[in-house]
Amino acid sequence: MINSWEVIETNHMVEHENLDVRTITIGISLLECIDSDLDKLNENIYRRITTVAKDLAKVGDAIQKEFGIPIVNKRISVTPIALVGGAACKSPEDFATIADTLDRAAEAVGADLIGGYSALVSKGMTKADEMLLRSIPTALCRTKRVCSSANLASTKTGINMDAVKLMGEILLEVAEMSKDRDSVDCMKLVVFCNAPDDNPFMAGAFHGVTEADAIINVGVSGPGVVKTALEKVRGENFEVLCETIKKTAFKVTRVGQLVAQEASRMLGIPFGIVDLSLAPTPAVGDSVADILCEIGLEFAGAPGTTAALAMLNDQVKKGGVMASSYVGGLSGAFIPVSEDQGMIDAVQAGAITLEKLEAMTCVCSVGLDMIAIPGDTKATTISGMIADEMALGMVNQKTTACRLIPVIGKGVGDTVEFGGLFGYAPIMPVNKFSCDDFINRGGRIPAPIHSFKN
Amino acid sequence: MENKQQKTIITVVGKDTVGIIAKVCTYLAENGINILDISQTIVSGYFNMMMIADFNGSKKAFGDCQEDLEKLGEEIGVDIKCQREEIFQKMHRI
């Protein structure tokens, strides 16, 4: 029988330590919607999404009430639109009409965001892929809920440098088109290496082609819970530290597992995975950087940060894996800058640089995330930063990503406000030296060798 | 939601005052909700009561009871929560 201390502990996590379910994401396959007529295709997509996800908001609210656990976001991910729209779309504008449809459908079912305006181009681009990528600026700027992603590289295929070059230009275009709003639309666009098919987190969620018709994926968030647990073991050795993180990760993940199972039962859609990520928010006490400080660093970014983060990430997985029957998605600690107050503080104190963040992404998910850079950064420089991050993922056989925000009209020393869960970010300096000739070569970087690992 | 053998945890947190348990129990009795267990502790000066209740015979829907109890809590000046037991079971038991 449950005792009152356990009940108090759980409720304390929710009320004071920001324990919540970050997202219930329904993955929906749109492959059956494919048609060569664009109007028909849009109609099919709208009908499919509004049928499968019609109870999403209702079920989310019901679970929140019954268990007393906040569910912050209800989301949808769909089959990469480059695949779905390939037969019908003859121009980037044609693709953008699908983004409009996704936006309408998401609004109709009360989903906060919809992901999957995506192309998988890790080796080569089809005409449809390229048109979709070129339509991203229009699509993102005239929709509210649509998120876009592109997989530019993988361990098996290498890096598609043509696509990397293109995405540097596209990102600047998105920034330019939303410059009157501090280029905020860039946060709805992310590029990946080794993108997972079942990621519930935005902006990178899409429903991979290896997935079933529909599936429920859940992401939990509990950096505050881990931080509070670690406060009780200050000064103890690494064994105690690691045990504490594992136990806490177990508890947090169990909540995700329960919510995923309930959502699956109530919606009549199979349970996919729980994503074991530590996802911060700008709320005080909901920060991954604060955990690093609790582990013993003055600020995130101090020497030792990469080791501390590697340890944290590994223990979260070790604790979480046993708590859930299926684990997937990104599963690791997120280190976005703008969404994490401790990270913002570290930038403002001058403790952390882009280069250190890059090193940190070698040992955790997911990459250079929500980082504001000067608006006058060249497209080739952005492509160079993307290529570096892709290389880390490719060689280390892990998912890495880039979600950079070049803020047009602002430079180092300025701050941008993204609002709500997305927080604010000080603009970080970017290395000024050129990589033009490297990016302009064109072609692919071959896949790395899978032996002789050193 | 539809209850099949579901236990519910009711927690009451707030400043101690006369009649908290009486009022909550009266409400539960009037609505056909059976109390299986009650325990009470004081944590950092605050009154903490936990009840395990069986809603199977409840005359009202779970959601309505939640709202009623929340309102009752506001009247007494305490925080009353009503949650399905699974969340605690899952988190604290393997």
**Domains of chain B and any CATH numbers:** 7-92 (3.30.70.260)
Q: Nearest-CA neighbor of A267 among A67, A57, A45? A: A57
Token digits of residue A55: 């109870």
Considering Cα of A419, then A424, then A427, then A428, what sign does the dihedral take? negative
CA pair distance A431, A74, nearest whole angstrom: 38
| d(CA B72, nearest CA chain A) in Å | 17
Mark which residues 57-96 of A lie under 8 Å from B by CB: 62, 65-69
- Which one of A7, A257, A266 has the shortest CB-CB distance to B88? A7
pLDDT in tens, A311-358: 999 999 999 999 999 998 888 888 999 989 999 999 999 999 999 999
Query: 3-state class of B55 per DSSP?
Result: coil
> Quick check: A370 and A377 in contact, CB under 8 A?
no
Please indicate whether, in this complex, the C-beta atoms of A65 and B50 are within 8 angstroms of each other. Answer: no
| d(CA B24, nearest CA chain A) in Å | 17
User: Is residue A453 pLDDT above 80, yes or no?
Assistant: no
Q: Looking at residue B1, what is its pLDDT?
A: 44
**CB-CB neighbors (< 8 A) of A68 in chain B:** 81-83, 87
Please indicate whether, in this complex, the C-beta atoms of A66 and B83 are within 8 angstroms of each other. Answer: yes
pLDDT in tens, A44-94: 999 999 999 999 999 999 999 999 999 999 999 999 999 999 999 999 999
> Quick check: A54 and A109 in contact, CB under 8 A?
yes
> Quick check: A418 and A178 in contact, CB under 8 A?
no
Query: pLDDT tier at A452 (50, 70, 90 boundaries)?
Result: confident
Nearest residue in A to B40, CA atom: A4
Strands (E), A194-252: 214-221
Q: Looking at residue B5, what is its pLDDT?
A: 59
CA pair distance A116, A132, nearest whole angstrom: 11
Please indicate whether, in this complex, the C-beta atoms of B39 and A3 are within 8 angstroms of each other. Answer: yes
Please indicate whether, in this complex, the C-beta atoms of A10 and B88 are within 8 angstroms of each other. Answer: yes
Please indicate whether, in this complex, the C-beta atoms of A67 and B48 are within 8 angstroms of each other. Answer: no
Token digits of residue B67: 């709202």
In terms of DSSP bridges, do strands A158-160 and A146-154 run parallel, antiparallel, or are they unpaired? antiparallel
| Phi/psi-derived region of residue A419, left when phi > 0, alpha when psi is between -120 and 50, beta in every other case | left
Say what the ipTM of the complex is. Answer: 0.86
For testing contact with chain A, the best of B64, B80, B87, B93 (most A CBs within 10 A): B87
**Prediction pTM value:** 0.91
Q: Looking at residue B4, what is its pLDDT?
A: 53
Number of A/B CB contacts below 8 angstroms equals 63
Residue A275's alpha-carbon distances to A24, A448, B1, in angstroms, are 10, 28, 27
Please indicate whether, in this complex, the C-beta atoms of B50 and A255 are within 8 angstroms of each other. Answer: no
Domain A22-193 -> CATH class = alpha beta
> Quick check: A280 and A339 in contact, CB under 8 A?
yes
Please indicate whether, in this complex, the C-beta atoms of B48 and A258 are within 8 angstroms of each other. Answer: no
Instruction: Read off the amino acid at residue A100.
Output: D
Domains A22-193 and A215-439 share a fold: yes
Please indicate whether, in this complex, the C-beta atoms of A257 and B90 are within 8 angstroms of each other. Answer: yes
Most confident stretch, A195-204, A317-326, A383-392, B14-23 = A383-392
**CB-CB neighbors (< 8 A) of B91 in chain A:** 6, 10, 251, 254-255
Q: Residue A401: CB partners within 8 Å, gap ≥ 6? A: A190, A191, A192, A193, A195, A204, A366, A367, A368, A369, A389, A393
**What are the average pLDDT values for consecutive 10-residue runs of chain B, which has 94 residues?**
69 89 92 92 85 91 92 93 92 89
Ranges of each domain in chain A: 22-193, 215-439
What share of chain A in percent tops pLDDT 70? 100
Q: Looking at residue B3, what is its pLDDT?
A: 44
**CB-CB neighbors (< 8 A) of A15 in chain B:** none
> Quick check: B44 and B16 in contact, CB under 8 A?
no
| Phi/psi-derived region of residue B77, left when phi > 0, alpha when psi is between -120 and 50, beta in every other case | left
CATH number for the domain running over A215-439: 3.20.70.20
Please indicate whether, in this complex, the C-beta atoms of A8 and B43 are within 8 angstroms of each other. Answer: yes
Q: Looking at residue B2, what is its pLDDT?
A: 46
